Structure 1
Amino acid sequence: MKVWGVSVSYYTGKLEAYLRYKGIAYEMQHPFADQARIRKLAGAVQVPIVEREDGRFMSDSTPTIQQLEREFPARPVFPSNPVVRFIALLIEDYADEWLWRSAMYYRWSYEHDRELLSRILADEVTTHLPLPRFVRRYLVKRRQRTRFVLQDGVTDQTRPHVEAGFFNAMDGMLAMLKNRPYLLGQTPSIADIGLMGPMLRHFGQDPTPAAIMRNEWPAIAEWVARVWNAGTMSGDTSLLETVPADAALLLKEIAETHIVQLRENALAYGRGQRTFEMQAQDCHYQNLPVSRYRVYCLERLREEFHALSPDQQADVRSHLPQAEYALLWEADVAATSLYDVDRQAPFNKAINVLP
């Protein structure tokens, strides 16, 4: 199995953590010198992309992991209890779509981080360009900071809240990890794998957030290493059969941030807008890019909820008391992305998360 990815990539790190835990052999290569062929066959050059031995491509880390779970059922990362499974998927979606902003902010707003990562990315993603290395580094820095920081709602006014998103995530995780080695059991679940996206390759490796994690939240740094090394574990899978009470802090944070963003993004997409604004906790964001993909994320969460039995739905709702969560089971906000309508992911033609 070939993984087209980048060594400092958010979602590549997530997928690699999963593959290592499952013991699935893979070879990683950088995709950009071959991007014309990959885009034609996969739909978008958005890492990671898996090229299979049968010639098919798999895109998007979430459905890719779901597909691999069907093919490699040993050591499952999806809880067998449907209610716990839904909560795990909710945490994964938050990790994928909300913490992205904080991760990119730290990487491209602090000079030491920006200089280091521009060197790495210039050498991994731009060597096919016939330009001097210093020019390629400049282009990487300008593109990443403009697109993923300045054009994603980060201003002097929102900066404290963007930073707090990182801290609040670690606080919520720590409340759960005080009681067991992984978020939802004695072995990793999709919640752990999802959070490895931001926590491994960004917060755990980029100089500024890594120092914060190491010095202020060392138990999270220990968890990152534990998940990365979980493939060496012996014994059976052991995931919880009920949602733990200690998940409440993290679930409250998700309601007040990620769910708010999903709602306002879907409303703006339905109106045909290109940008939107939102009030998340005490912070007002403006000029956020509308994402068709995140409308799709909301669709998928709703599908997962409605696939539950009435008793299971009631159980989920008991763990999600915040008013924002009504978005997941009420239809007053339309979510119609018209993406992957036939639910062929990860074998469909992918789209970019941000336009």
Structure 2
Amino acid sequence: MNSIHELDNGYYLYGSPVSYYTVKVRSYLRYKGLPFNQVQVSEKVANDIIKPATGGWRVVPVLKTPQGDYIQDSSIILDELESVHKDRSITPPDLKQQVVSSLFELLGDDWLVYPAMHYRWNYKRYNLSYILNAFGRNRKTHWPKAMRWLGGIKPALKFGSVPRFMLGISKSNAPALEAWTQQLLDQLDCHFSQHDYLLGGRPCYGDFSLYGPLHAHLALDPYPRDHLIQPKKHLLAWLERMNETPENIGEWLPGDAVPETLVPILHWQFRDQLHYIHQVMDKTTDWIKTHPEANTLPRFIGKVDYRINGADGKRLCTPYSQWMYERVLEPIESADAYQPGELTRWLNSQNLPFKPIQPNYPTVFQRSRLWRRDRL
């Protein structure tokens, strides 16, 4: 990473190269050709910059703008930058592609946390040395090189429990998760043999959200890198494209077309992830009804059941997942009157059972908190 003093008039990206939301934003900045400085989040940076900017949270990524403002949350960062830097837009012009882009954003940001965390922390025999060194380099930059791995022990103890205690990954459902992950990667490899990006010749929001977990976890951690990613040459080529500033960019697929190679992935998503999302919405509604005075929602509100590839699990319920789903609904709500009908006809033609169910209590993510929209 670069020194914090190298860049005077650009963006500062605070994060870690093994954080998938950090590399999602880094990929976007490179695609746009925006000058930025990536800053390691040492203990001092966390205490002096990150926590004051986020109201006390130690989270990454955080982006500092040339104007001195701080933005937290990878999706909000991309939204804010898109509103300022209009060239090389990552938003398709028409509704079907907009919705598919948002669905893949939801898939990458919210659902690929399962394989990302499983393959990192449940294959410690292969990954632990690499992870300790990677975490230590980020947090203990001033330590001697040979000792930095020791600085990775504390965060490894924290994150190592995520697959089991937060996501409910167990010996009973891990085989189904691994089979689904392999199917997903095979389907993406097939897709990228025909298209440079998800929706044609330029990346959309969904590309960047997929890139985060696929690069920072599956392509860097030794076990998934060797067993899942390296054999897939077309997926590897896409990963390389997503890490570059392309000299020229292509066009969206004409006629608001959605490639058939993406349809199987959407089927899996609607079957499993949206079922979980609807449970989150119900539990969020129940929590708000029992806490009517609350303006903001907690990060977790109990647990909900989920199913992945036919196997059951129970994970912490994150109202943030509802907000991510609401981003899928936004282009539908703002579309011209005739477009939702075209979207519905296409969904029906592909046997995709998507119904844009509205939450009872819409949410907004601001100032590192999830708010009830009616309280802002």
Q: Would you say how many aligned residue pairs link Structure 1 and Structure 2?
A: 336
Out of 121, 124, 128, which is 2:138 matched to? 124
- 2:13 matched to which residue of 1? 3
Counterpart of 1:202 in structure 2 is 217
Q: How does 1:216-255 map to 2 (within 5 A)?
A: 216-229=231-244, 231-234=245-248, 236-240=249-253, 241-255=256-270
1:153 & 1:335 partners in 2: Cα distance?
Answer: 27
CA distance 1:161–1:336, change in 2 (3 Å): farther
Q: CA distance change for structure 1 residues 310 and 337 in 2, over 3 Å: closer, same or farther? A: closer
Deviation at 1:276, TM superposition (A): 1.2
1:301 aligned partner: 328
Letter in 2 for 1:289: L
1:261 aligned to which of 276, 291, 297:
276
Structure-2 change in CA distance of 1:335 and 1:300 (3 Å): farther
Name the SS for the 1:181 alignment partner. Answer: coil
Pair 1:35 & 2:46 matched: yes
Distance 1:56 1:107, change over 3 A: same
Equivalent pair of 2:277/2:321 in contact (CA under 8 Å): yes
Cα pair distance change 1:226/1:118, threshold 3 Å = same
Cα pair 1:184 1:191 within 8 Å, conserved: no
Alignment check: 8 A CA contact 2:71 2:77 kept? yes
Higher mean alpha-carbon deviation, 23-32 vs 315-324, is at 315-324
- Paired with 2:140 and 2:273, the residues of 1 have a C-alpha distance of 33
Taking structure 2 as the reference length, the TM-score comes to 0.82
Report if the CA contact (8 A) 1:76-1:237 is conserved. no
Separation (CA, whole Å) in 2 of partners of 1:17 and 1:149: 29
Provide the residue aligned with 2:307 in structure 1.
Answer: 279
Matched, 1:82 2:85: no
Is the Cα contact below 8 Å between 2:177 and 2:308 reproduced in 1? no
Is contact 2:64–2:71 with CA below 8 Å preserved after alignment?
A: yes
Aligned to 1:350: 368
Name the CA distance, whole Å, in 2 between partners of 1:112 and 1:62: 32
**Measured at CA, do residues 215 and 121 of structure 1 come closer, stay the same or move farther in structure 2, by a change above 3 Å?**
closer
Tell whether the 8 Å contact from 2:180 to 2:309 is kept in structure 1 after alignment. Answer: no
Q: Describe how 1:121-200 pairs up with structure 2 within 5 A.
A: 121-125=135-139, 136-200=151-215
Deviation at 1:316, TM superposition (A): 2.4
Q: Is 1:290 matched up with 2:317? A: yes
Q: Which runs of no fewer than 5 residues in structure 2 stay unpaired?
A: 1-10, 288-300, 371-376
Contact kept? 1:83, 1:243, Cα under 8 Å: yes
Distance 1:351 1:218 in 2: 40
**Cα separation, partners in 2 of 1:297 and 1:171, compared to 1, 3 Å:** same
Structure 1 residue 83 displacement after superposition? 2.1
Q: 1:303 to 1:134 in 2, by over 3 A?
A: closer
C-alpha deviations, 1:318-346, integer Å up to 9, x for none?
Answer: 343467522xx234xx3536443xxxxxx
Is 1:318 aligned with 2:345? yes
On the 8 A contact 1:92/1:193 being kept in 2, the answer is yes
Distance 2:237 2:166 in 1: 33
**Which segments of 5 or more consecutive residues in structure 1 lack a partner in the other structure?**
341-347
Distance 1:65 1:296, change over 3 A: same
> Equivalent residue of 2:223, what SS?
helix
Structure 1's consecutive aligned runs of 4 or more residues displaced over 6 angstroms after TM superposition are none
Q: What is the letter of the counterpart of residue 320 of structure 1?
A: L
> How far off its partner does 1:175 sit?
3.6
* Paired amino acid for 1:63: I
SS in 2 for 1:112: helix
CA distance in structure 2 between the aligned counterparts of 1:148 and 1:127, rounded to whole angstroms = 28
Q: Which of 19, 24, 31 matches 2:29? A: 19
Alignment of 1:83-102 (within 5 A): 83-102=96-115
Residue of structure 2 in register with 1:114 after alignment: 128
TM-score by length of structure 1 reads 0.86
- Measured in 1, the distance between the counterparts of 2:27 and 2:159 equals 24
1:32-70 CA deviation, whole Å, 9 max, x = no partner?
A: 422234222233332111011222111111121122112
Match of 2:298 in 1: none
Q: Give percent identity, aligned residues only.
A: 20
Distance across 2 between alignment mates of 1:83 and 1:14: 23
